[in-house]
Structure 1
């Protein structure tokens, strides 16, 4: 007799995570919202729809609420529009919850879903969504908003001398939803770029680390055991960290003797804002591509300090090269690409200086793991491709508008050559593997249900 795991149990969640249909691309805004509208039309007794706000360019932002259980769960995608795995995750999750009564009843929740919180930024990435396995194609059509134009990082913030209150309309819409539904559990759907899987939790949750480890393991995906995004996060377990905190970032920079105010150019996160309601937040960071070194914890032959200094030098060099090209152009257009490069390019050089200072405080004797060597080196590759691609798009816009001077055209030619060089260097990574989108969706889907299950289990012990 075949054993069927209880709906909503970890065993059931792992089975479901491995059963995501094959996927080859990501949906654009129109297709994404049409799929949710269609699902709501099919299940009017389960799904309600309401407009929660309007984007800066005038696009309506809808919220779909599914079910009527007493627990309140809030999920949203598109907070960083270059991170579209969450679009597919929400499509699959909503479809399963609408069509599987047993699973929906196992969680007894109302699921509030915002398919895309930043439609304007998402449209600027749609050109690579049809071919997401090509890293250089992704970079050439890449767009990531400047920090003060990112929904995730434009919640109100005040800490010592840092202050942010330029809240975006999209962020205001999300704030109103958080204040309205007061989520017990909130999932901000992000993804990384290359390496392994890692997670952020707003607070420690009993059983969550083991459950989160089980999901990618069941799908054959590695955890990322290399350098975390920032040294300020705390590890709850391997590749499971506390949420990034702007106040902790501020204090870390101040302790290094660096003025934090110019570097803290944005606000706080959705997790920080929702914490006043006791909300437990989750972020599952997933790579498009993986590499054997992403989880190789064996020691390299290089001191960790040397690895940090090399990364710092490369970041400064990259920032200086891009800034030189930008300064040589006669820019006339206020485009999203210009605003983004104006923020990110100076950050590269500043981040390099920060890494030099951090390296000076590290033990000279400690050897870096192979994963740490890889992750530090790939930060440089990642930033060169991302911000080189955006700088080129900024210059392309000047040419397309007919406003490019000879200086701008020379700058564009120089940027084309430099970007081609960086792409060629990236393509020497012959061991790079494009991960199946269905597996990436499976991790986000499974991690969401697994942490929700841990929270329900914790209710019975309190």
Structure 2
């Protein structure tokens, strides 16, 4: 066996089928597959209070190896909590729910903390001091908790969905300065994560995300070939297809199958500028990976869907041209933008609240229009004269359904919020009723468009958990002696033990 690399053993598991062969990191060989077996089954996602309570109990039970501390405060005044476990020379940060509609990480951070607390061998094998942030956006996460216990249908998800406006998202509000763009309206939640990054100079960082429908894919902030095979196999062993559809932005570069380089906001800015669009409509602040880059940190994002589409990895050509696919998607996005903007324009003079649902709706409606224009311009590229694959067709059309359910659901919640506080003007009542009919049609079309096959939550947590262990090991191996993620020398008892 080549030093520094691994072939994972084939083992049976009650919740997977054919594991295949993994290429990865030597330090994980004895226990990676065993660790995956420790992930329990789940039937719902945890609430903010449940995550905090679980980590609080771990801290109380193991004060000898943990520190439970407040690292910040949310915009609504809620404490942001961090559980530090272990005393390794290098540091790792794991933060749950940077986007509040992405709750897989709630279970993952609890399970990771539990295993670190109960297994000294695991703590020693990783060689890290782990800093686990319970929930990076508790205010926004609470606005999604209406769907965390199911039923796990697209309609129920959309009707209880919330995603903050761009300048209210933790991952979009790190400092950013490039050309005419300058962003420094750092939120308190973002500032808390910034301080933790500066304090620990982590060798490894992951904020726990997930996608919505399709297949699994991963972002790394730099190529890490030694771990690519592990990430791919983690999805395969739980029968989740590796995503082969449209990337989230045209500037995203593929490092390997279903593994992408984390988006660079400077490249997004340049791309938008070349199209003649206003970059300020697309680019807000930076992200945690760009901020942590100063410390040589390896950053991971594991994007895992709630609903699986078996066609998500199908690269078979279709009879649809890629050019026509882009135009169809752009037309669908433009329809959504016009519908949302029409409602917002009609009620502009009547609304009296400044609810997060209204702020988000006002942000996303014009952004969807910009994305439609981008698709129309991309369709003119000569490189689009090729057949679209099955995966590309499904992902492009799924995006339209996703935007309808997500942002239509938020706008309905905004309208219902006005009615709930007694602001039932004729325009608001009429628009709420008519848009509810439009939204019901959108839901029916989305439910019938692709198979509504939910992935067992435990499988999603296992993939995310395994990716954390694999990438943390890769970061430790790759950091060498450059000091990335090593304990600071200032003697801070909260960091260095």
Alignment of 1:114-153 (within 5 A): 114-131=133-150, 133-153=152-172
Aligned partner (choices 364, 385, 391) of residue 371 of structure 1 = 391
Of 250-259 and 357-366, the range deviating more from structure 2:
357-366
Report whether the alignment pairs 1:55 with 2:74.
yes
The Cα RMSD (Å) is 1.8
Give the direction of change, closer, same or farther, for the CA distance of 1:460–1:274 in structure 2 (3 Å limit). Answer: closer
Structure 1 residue aligned with 2:417: 397
Given that residues 18 and 219 in structure 1 are in contact (C-alpha distance below 8 angstroms), is that contact kept between their aligned partners in structure 2?
A: no
Given that residues 25 and 132 in structure 1 are in contact (C-alpha distance below 8 angstroms), is that contact kept between their aligned partners in structure 2?
A: no
Supply the distance in 1 between the matched residues of 2:105 and 2:33 (Cα, whole angstroms).
18
Structure 2 residue aligned with 1:358: 378
User: Which structure 1 residue ranges, 4+ long, deviate > 6 Å from structure 2?
Assistant: 3-7
Give the direction of change, closer, same or farther, for the CA distance of 1:132–1:234 in structure 2 (3 Å limit). Answer: farther
Deviation at 1:101, TM superposition (A): 1.2
Report whether the alignment pairs 1:417 with 2:461.
no
Supply the distance in 2 between the matched residues of 1:10 and 1:168 (Cα, whole angstroms).
41
Of 14-23 and 126-135, the range deviating more from structure 2:
14-23
Give the direction of change, closer, same or farther, for the CA distance of 1:395–1:459 in structure 2 (3 Å limit). Answer: closer
Aligned partner (choices 3, 9, 12) of residue 31 of structure 2 = 12
Question: What SS class does the counterpart of residue 354 from structure 1 fall into?
Answer: helix
1:44-95: per-residue Cα shift (whole Å, max 9, x none)? 1111011111111111111110000101000101110000000100000110
Given that residues 8 and 449 in structure 1 are in contact (C-alpha distance below 8 angstroms), is that contact kept between their aligned partners in structure 2?
A: no
Deviation at 1:130, TM superposition (A): 0.8
Task: Show structure 1 runs of 5+ residues with no match.
Answer: none
Supply the distance in 2 between the matched residues of 1:243 and 1:68 (Cα, whole angstroms).
29
Task: Show structure 2 runs of 5+ residues with no match.
Answer: 1-8, 12-24, 483-497
Given that residues 74 and 187 in structure 1 are in contact (C-alpha distance below 8 angstroms), is that contact kept between their aligned partners in structure 2?
A: yes
Of 304-313 and 123-132, the range deviating more from structure 2:
123-132
Given that residues 325 and 414 in structure 1 are in contact (C-alpha distance below 8 angstroms), is that contact kept between their aligned partners in structure 2?
A: no
Give the direction of change, closer, same or farther, for the CA distance of 1:96–1:364 in structure 2 (3 Å limit). Answer: closer
Report whether the alignment pairs 1:382 with 2:402.
yes
State the TM-score, normalizing by the size of structure 1: 0.96
Structure 2 residue aligned with 1:333: 353
1:193-214: per-residue Cα shift (whole Å, max 9, x none)? 0000000001112412111112
Given that residues 10 and 450 in structure 1 are in contact (C-alpha distance below 8 angstroms), is that contact kept between their aligned partners in structure 2?
A: no
State the TM-score, normalizing by the size of structure 2: 0.90
Structure 2 residue aligned with 1:269: 287
Structure 1 residue aligned with 2:14: none
Deviation at 1:114, TM superposition (A): 0.2
Aligned partner (choices 229, 232, 252) of residue 210 of structure 1 = 229
Given that residues 202 and 242 in structure 1 are in contact (C-alpha distance below 8 angstroms), is that contact kept between their aligned partners in structure 2?
A: yes
Deviation at 1:456, TM superposition (A): 3.3
1:241-287: per-residue Cα shift (whole Å, max 9, x none)? 111111110001112222313332x2000000010011110000000
1:196-235: per-residue Cα shift (whole Å, max 9, x none)? 0000001112412111112111222111111110111111
Given that residues 226 and 371 in structure 1 are in contact (C-alpha distance below 8 angstroms), is that contact kept between their aligned partners in structure 2?
A: yes
Given that residues 153 and 452 in structure 2 are in contact (C-alpha distance below 8 angstroms), is that contact kept between their aligned partners in structure 1?
A: no
Structure 1 residue aligned with 2:20: none
Supply the distance in 1 between the matched residues of 2:53 and 2:38 (Cα, whole angstroms).
24
Supply the distance in 2 between the matched residues of 1:352 and 1:337 (Cα, whole angstroms).
22
Given that residues 203 and 479 in structure 2 are in contact (C-alpha distance below 8 angstroms), is that contact kept between their aligned partners in structure 1?
A: no
Aligned partner (choices 186, 191, 211) of residue 172 of structure 1 = 191
Structure 2 residue aligned with 1:221: 240
Aligned length: 459
Given that residues 311 and 390 in structure 2 are in contact (C-alpha distance below 8 angstroms), is that contact kept between their aligned partners in structure 1?
A: yes
Aligned partner (choices 296, 304, 319) of residue 278 of structure 1 = 296
Report whether the alignment pairs 1:432 with 2:452.
yes
Given that residues 314 and 380 in structure 1 are in contact (C-alpha distance below 8 angstroms), is that contact kept between their aligned partners in structure 2?
A: yes
Aligned partner (choices 208, 219, 228) of residue 200 of structure 1 = 219
Structure 2 residue aligned with 1:35: 54
Structure 2 residue aligned with 1:256: 275
Report whether the alignment pairs 1:287 with 2:305.
yes
Aligned partner (choices 95, 102, 106) of residue 121 of structure 2 = 102
Given that residues 79 and 117 in structure 1 are in contact (C-alpha distance below 8 angstroms), is that contact kept between their aligned partners in structure 2?
A: yes
Report whether the alignment pairs 1:324 with 2:342.
yes
